[in-house]
């Protein structure tokens, strides 16, 4: 069993490694870092980039501890207890509407009562769904999952479809990915194995996204695609503020607002009742934004 400090140290290294790869891929932008302390215990390292390829992106590390907020204790049916949580959380908004938004999170949680678990996931939100990119993305995730458990990909892909879903729009946020939570020894895996899995998910993130950015470079776009990107970013805002449990939890428990809301796009638009023309690329994208598409 790894000590929680060990897990936190590896996640901190993961943040370093991802930032290095993203700066290299961007070519121009550099991450700015803010270190912050949480009054109740622990803190984090927030890193934000405004680059040539990545318009706005955050790669956040945190390791916090203290009494478990009552609201979570209740929702988890736990008695009052201390907790420890560490993780890396990422959202990247590219300049090009032909490149996808991406999100990744890996986290480890321990309570004073001796319970521990991992959670996290990666999901992809293309402004325009390009099936070949979606297949490539899911293939990378499946390969990571299959190295640890033949059941992981299918289970976590389904959970991502359910989680990254805008119920009020009846749309998925994008082409999904994987999502897992409360992953503990009941999975048949030890803490060490599950840490290796979470870490492998984290390590797969940068090369996968860098490849997707590379593919997008040659795709031309004009005002039309930019306008559509702004509307899709509006949907991203709606998901994060209305449905995302992590965001809601953070805002309701006095988390560091600027770190939580680093997921917001640099700019978003809302147009009343916008409906794309039938058969247009925008309408085709909407048709892909549903659950249970099999990408691999």
Which range binds a second copy by CB under 8 A, 135-143, 197-205, 245-253, 279-287? 245-253
Q: How far, in Å, CA of 239 to CA of 243, rounded?
A: 5
Binding of a second copy by 143 (CB under 8 A): no
Active site residue 103: yes
> Which residue has tokens 């390009």?
130
Which residue in 159, 213, 198, 233 sits closest to 2, CA to CA?
198
Residue 5 tokens, joined: 């400090």
Q: Does 286 bind a second copy (CB under 8 A)?
A: no
Q: Give the binding-site size for a second copy (rule: CB under 8 A).
A: 32
How far apart (Å, rounded) are the C-alpha atoms in residues 119 and 104? 11
The crossing angle, in degrees rounded to 10, of helices 131-146 and 152-163 is 130
**Closest to 183 measured CA to CA, from 135, 149, 219, 224:** 149
> Considering the rule CB under 8 A, would residue 271 count as an interface residue with a second copy?
yes
Say if residue 216 is exposed, middle or buried (CB neighbours under 10 Å; 0-12, 13-18, 19+). Answer: buried
Contacts with a second copy, 150-169, as mask; x by CB under 8 A: -----------------xxx
- Does residue 264 touch a second copy according to CB under 8 A? yes
Catalytic residue among 65, 93, 103, 138: 103
Binding a second copy (rule: CB under 8 A), the pick from 113, 242, 283, 287 is 242
224 interacts with a second copy by CB under 8 A: no
Which residue in the block uniquely carries the two structure tokens 């490694």?
Answer: 17
Distance CA 255, CA 258 (A): 9
Site string for a second copy, 29-58 (x = CB under 8 A): -----x-------------x-------x-x
- Shortest separation between residue 255's beta carbon and a second copy, angstroms: 8
238 binds a second copy (CB under 8 A): yes
Q: Which is nearer to a second copy, 60 or 144 (CB)?
A: 60
Question: CB under 8 A: which stretch of 1-9, 123-131, 203-211, 264-272 binds a second copy?
Answer: 264-272
User: Which has the closest alpha carbon to 92: 148, 128, 47?
Assistant: 47
- Per CB under 8 A, the segment of 3-11, 141-149, 178-186, 261-269 that binds a second copy is 261-269
For residue 260, give the 3-state DSSP assignment: helix
Q: What are phi and psi of 43, to 5 degrees?
A: 175, -155
Chain residues binding a second copy by CB under 8 A are: 34, 48, 56, 58, 167-169, 230, 234, 237-238, 241-242, 248, 251-252, 254, 257-258, 260-262, 264-273
Q: Which residues are catalytic?
A: 103
């Amino acid at each position: 069993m790894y000590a929680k400090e060990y897990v936190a140290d590896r996640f901190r290294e993961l943040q370093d490694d991802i930032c290095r790869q993203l700066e290299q891929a961007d070519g121009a932008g550099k991450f700015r870092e803010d270190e912050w302390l949480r009054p109740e215990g622990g803190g984090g390292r927030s890193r934000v980039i405004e680059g040539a390829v990545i318009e706005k992106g955050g790669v956040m590390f945190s390791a916090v501890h203290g009494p478990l907020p009552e609201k979570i204790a209740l929702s988890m049916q736990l008695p009052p207890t201390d907790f420890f949580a560490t993780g890396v959380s990422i959202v990247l908004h590219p300049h090009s509407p032909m490149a996808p938004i991406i999100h990744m999170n890996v986290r480890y949680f321990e309570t004073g009562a001796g319970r521990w678990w991992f959670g996290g996931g990666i999901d992809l939100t293309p402004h325009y769904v390009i099936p070949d990119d979606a297949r490539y993305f899911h293939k990378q995730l499946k390969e990571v999952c299959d190295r640890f458990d033949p059941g992981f990909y299918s289970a976590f892909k389904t959970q991502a479809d359910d989680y990254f879903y805008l119920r009020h729009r009846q749309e998925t946020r994008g082409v999904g990915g994987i999502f897992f939570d409360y992953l503990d020894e009941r999975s048949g895996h030890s803490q060490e194995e599950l840490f290796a899995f979470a870490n492998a998910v984290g390590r797969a993130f940068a090369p996968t996204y860098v490849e997707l950015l590379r593919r997008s470079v040659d795709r031309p776009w004009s005002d039309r695609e930019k306008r559509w990107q702004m509307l899709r970013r509006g949907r991203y805002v709606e998901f994060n503020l209305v449905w995302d449990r992590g965001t809601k939890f953070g805002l309701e428990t006095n988390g560091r607002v600027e770190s939580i809301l680093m997921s917001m796009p640099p700019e978003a638009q809302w147009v009343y009742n916008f409906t794309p023309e039938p058969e247009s690329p925008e309408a085709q994208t909407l048709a892909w934004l549903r659950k249970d598409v099999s990408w691999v």
